Amino acid sequence: MTTIDLTQVRDLFFEESFENLDVMESSLLDLEIGTFNEELINNIFRAAHSIKGGAGIFHFDDIVTFSHNAETLLDEVRDGKHTIDQTLIDLLLRAGDILRMMLLASKDKVEYDDQTMQSCQNELQKALLEDKKVDKENFDLADVPVIESSSEAKILKQWHIKFKPELPILKTGNDPINLFRELQELGELKVITNTDAIPDFADLNPQLCYLNWELFLHSTADRADIEEIFEWIIDECELSITESVIEPITEPEIELQEEPSPEIIDDTPKIKITKEKTTIPEIVIVEPVHEKEVVNKQTKTNSIRVGIDKIDNLINIVGELVITQSMLDQIGENFDNSDITQLQDGLAQLERNTRELQENVMRIRMLPISFSFNRFPRLVHDLSTQLGKKVELVLSGENTELDKTVLEKMSDPLVHLVRNSLDHGIELPEQRKQAGKPETGKLHLNAFHQSGNIVIQISDDGAGFDVEKIRAKAIQKGWITEDENLAEEQLYEFIFQPGFSTSEEVSDVSGRGVGMDVVRRNIRDLGGSIEVKSTTGEGSKFSIRLPLTLAILDGQLVRVGKEIFVLPLLSIMESLRVQSKLVNSFTGMVEIYKLRDDYIPIFRLYKLFDIKNTTTKLEQG
């Protein structure tokens, strides 16, 4: 008996479902202009359809039902039966939130808010009745009649469908059983399964689909109705649809005398497959345990999606390493002095291969910052609506890469800075109009590389910081006296103090003086820094400087006495030998060195770390 653990497949379903929800959300936000964009609508529909199909495999029936309602509404939008307005977009965004809640609950095996789900589901069902003669005030699904047109005769057709999916179709969340269920809703279905392609058991991969089918459908449906069912997997299968007309009918129910046909079973079937002269052992599928338990929220951080180009580079480098190793083996077998040059060349090649391998392995941890930026369109949409403001979000530098750990730990600080810009920075439309600005404010998120670091900037064209308010608050807190005159840059440092806020009212968004100190602490924990620039009436800019990676870094070795120190190369601006004539003492305590037109303090490591050194002369360093 062989056991198959579906845990890995289940995790893959959740990962892809959350990605599909992100696609739905970003596409819905792009529809806000109100114009019909077929590509975006198809993206949204395809994402909802994939979630429904995958949920059906694991018997998440509530997710299947809910996503089906959203999918049906999207289908009507695609057919032009519903106009794209803000109400519809908000409803579908809320449906995406509910789906995310249900998926998280199913993943963690916990309960979700059923009342919230039912409320949204009712709204979806009511939206399906828009522009139809239905009393929405007294809406009850049980009272909705099924209306069928009998104005003209329907033609019963026999459709002959040949369906051969590609082997990895199950990995994309498309289950042929679900397709057959949808076909069965169109009429009477007969299914013939071809098992000739099933390999011997030793070569069987349970995640691949080796079957193909011939289907006979008796239905009044048109070809377009059938093609629509296969629409989302048309690129993953060989499909042939032919028809033959049987007779015209006027009644919706037809009795056909057909040979017994296999049933399409509602629950996922246990299929026993046999081949001539081949015995296949019973396969037991271990379903995930359904009892409620606490799931570690950090499990999602234990995996990383790597581009195929990075994998290909690693494979190529490993191949070169193998070649270099073979060459060195040959040199070592019959080594003599004449092989010195060849040995040196081989070792140099080995060093190049090793360095290249190190750089490419480190690059695997690098992810584009778009993984973080992509969450902000929805945040800005919801928050600006809540605050009654008009805001345009501009994203740039989304392909800038940084370390996965840095990216994850920067998520919350970025959210806090964006919320602050929306709440405190950008003004209400009336205020902007009075100030001679466009009613729509601009919030800009930018990322770029600079001097071996990554810089993330959050800027807005809002009111900017009120320096006098900051100064008054600092005096009130006792941090400075009224007589002290600080530069604007020094006053901006106070906004990072715990409990500091110039807001006179506490809102749901901000105003308690909690968060900016945490933002700076989190950034410093990553080895980064944050600085503020602001112009009253014109806007503010936060610039965050972070290291590219927290993994292995190149360094320069420095020996002091018997101790060895490593200085990161990214921190070294220039390396030179000190000239004694350019060294002076400042106030008799600090040594300074004149480098061109600048004076740089000198720190002697043997003094700082109390190390016995063999020399104290700077020029010998």
Active site residue ranges: 49, 71, 420
CA–CA distances in Å: residue 546 to residues 420, 453, 497, 520, 552: 21, 6, 21, 12, 15
CB 391 within 8 A of CB 378: no
The pairing of strands 440-450 and 529-535 is unpaired
Backbone angles phi, psi at 440, to 5 degrees: -90, 120
Token pair in block for residue 74: 């999207």
Rounded-to-10 torsion of CA 194, 200, 201, 205: -70
Q: Tell me the DSSP string of 441-454.
A: EEEEEEEEEETTEE
State the angle between helix axes of 38-57 and 61-78 in degrees (0 to 180), rounded to the nearest 10: 160
CB 592 within 8 A of CB 584: yes
| Nearest-angstrom CA–CA distance, 28 and 37 | 10
CB 283 within 8 A of CB 206: yes
| Nearest-angstrom CA–CA distance, 597 and 118 | 72
- Going along 308-465, which residue ranges are E strands? 366-368, 390-396, 401-403, 440-450, 453-460
Q: Which of 300, 527, 548, 545 is nearest to 401 (CA)?
A: 548
Secondary-structure percent of the chain, ordered helix, strand, coil, rounded to 5: 45, 20, 35
Gap between the terminal Cα atoms of the chain: 71
Write the CB contacts of 277 (distance below 8 Å, at least 6 apart in sequence): none
The pairing of strands 390-396 and 283-286 is unpaired
The pairing of strands 283-286 and 2-5 is parallel
Backbone angles phi, psi at 55, to 5 degrees: -65, -35
Backbone angles phi, psi at 323, to 5 degrees: -65, -45
CB 40 within 8 A of CB 47: no
CA–CA distances in Å: residue 279 to residues 197, 201, 206, 285: 15, 8, 16, 18
| Nearest-angstrom CA–CA distance, 248 and 556 | 86
Give the Cβ contact number of residue 608 at 10 Å.
9
| Nearest-angstrom CA–CA distance, 580 and 573 | 21
- With 0-12 / 13-18 / 19 or more C-beta atoms within 10 angstroms meaning exposed / middle / buried, residue 127 is buried
b (16+ CB within 10 A) / e for 14-42: bebbbebbbbbbbbbbebeeeeeeeebbe
Sign (positive/negative) of CA torsion 325, 329, 332, 335?
A: negative
- Helix (H) or strand (E) run with residue 358 in it: helix 340-364
Q: How many CA atoms lie within 13 A of 527 on its CB side?
A: 15
CB 537 within 8 A of CB 420: no
